């Protein structure tokens, strides 16, 4: 497995986003099968596994904790705090007060069956709590041995700078893919300047860039894509141009659109580690195959040239959730 550095933390070039195994996509997955897939990822060299207390809520951390109880020395576990979790509405608002952060960490440690969280992210920036106070609280947790590395998710370059001045930030986790390149404007140059890694979530566009979704696709009742503007039938049809672009390149190099999408992210910077998720063994193997894909300079130029003329149709999130991002 190829390795990459997120700040001073060495991780597998391709990580694994665990959320969809128990949250966000409607399906109730067999726990034993999910653990089998997680073990298969470890056996193939994946070290970075991403979860959060809000996924479920709580059930995804419990799954990850059970899966890796006997493989702790082979994995790096990242989790997140930052939401005010209430019954029936797990994302009812942000809460990064020091008391809530400490409470979240204690809960995560217990569910994950670990003594130390390898990488702890603030899930969303809380506008009511100064980021310096958040960073200071995490710094205290690091000094206590409960956390090793500090990260931020969906944070702006300015916010990252402020946090980094109090407690060095190891990684920022933001959405990044060929159809969402906003991080290139300010965030990625700043990350390079400060030696901070980028963990790219949804590098496959929540499954869209695989080419397996069209305007006739019906999402399950609790599938988050059912409420995302970018996944309305109109947007799905309009965004087919991204899949067509990936498919053209894939056809010439005996690859799949998903593999090209992941290889493109990996080719952008050496300090970027994408974390695609899956609930299917064959998709895990397909994703890992992207590591062996070498996009030529001509391929990358064609992808960049093509993508530069396109703009994804539909917002990433509904207004309420978009308001929680700090971009």
Where in the sequence numbering do the catalytic residues fall? Answer: 55
Beta bridge partner(s), residue 322: none
CB of 130 within 8 A of CB of 96?
no
Which distant-in-sequence residues (6+ apart) come within 8 Å of 9 by Cβ? Answer: 76, 118, 119, 148, 149, 170, 171, 197
Q: From CA 318, how far away is CA 295, in angstroms rounded?
A: 34
**Distance from C-alpha of 257 to C-alpha of 219, rounded to nearest angstrom:** 21
Q: Are 100 and 131 in contact (CB under 8 A)?
A: no
The Cα 268–Cα 188 span in angstroms is 10
């Amino acid at each position: 497995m190829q390795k990459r550095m997120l700040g001073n933390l060495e991780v597998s070039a391709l990580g694994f986003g665990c959320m969809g195994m128990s949250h966000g996509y409607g399906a109730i997955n067999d726990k034993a099968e999910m653990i089998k897939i997680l073990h298969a990822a470890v056996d193939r060299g994946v070290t970075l596994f991403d979860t959060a207390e809000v996924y479920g809520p709580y059930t995804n951390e419990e799954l990850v904790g059970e899966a890796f109880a006997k493989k702790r020395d082979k994995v790096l576990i990242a989790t997140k705090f930052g939401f005010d979790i209430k019954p029936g509405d797990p994302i009812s608002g942000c809460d990064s007060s020091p008391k809530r952060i400490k409470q979240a960490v204690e809960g995560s440690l217990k569910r994950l069956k670990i003594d130390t969280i390898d990488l702890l992210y603030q899930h969303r920036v809380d506008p009511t709590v100064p980021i310096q106070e958040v960073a200071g609280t995490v710094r205290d947790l690091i000094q206590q041995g409960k956390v090793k590395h500090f990260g931020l998710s969906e944070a702006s370059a300015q916010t990252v700078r402020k946090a980094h001045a109090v407690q060095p930030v190891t990684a920022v986790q933001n959405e990044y893919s060929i159809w969402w390149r906003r991080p290139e404007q300010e965030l990625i140059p700043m990350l390079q300047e400060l030696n901070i890694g980028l963990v790219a979530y949804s590098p496959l566009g929540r499954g869209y860039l695989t080419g397996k979704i069209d305007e006739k696709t019906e999402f399950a009742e609790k599938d988050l894509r059912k409420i995302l503007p970018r996944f309305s039938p109109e947007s799905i049809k309009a965004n087919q141009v991204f899949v067509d672009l990936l498919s053209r390149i894939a056809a010439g190099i005996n690859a799949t659109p998903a593999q090209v999408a992941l290889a493109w992210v990996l080719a952008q910077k050496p300090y970027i580690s994408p974390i695609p998720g899956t609930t299917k063994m064959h998709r895990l193997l397909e994703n890992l195959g992207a590591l062996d894909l070498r996009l030529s300079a001509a391929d990358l130029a064609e992808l960049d040239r093509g993508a530069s003329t396109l703009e994804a149709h539909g917002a990433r999130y509904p207004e309420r959730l978009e308001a929680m991002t700090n971009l």
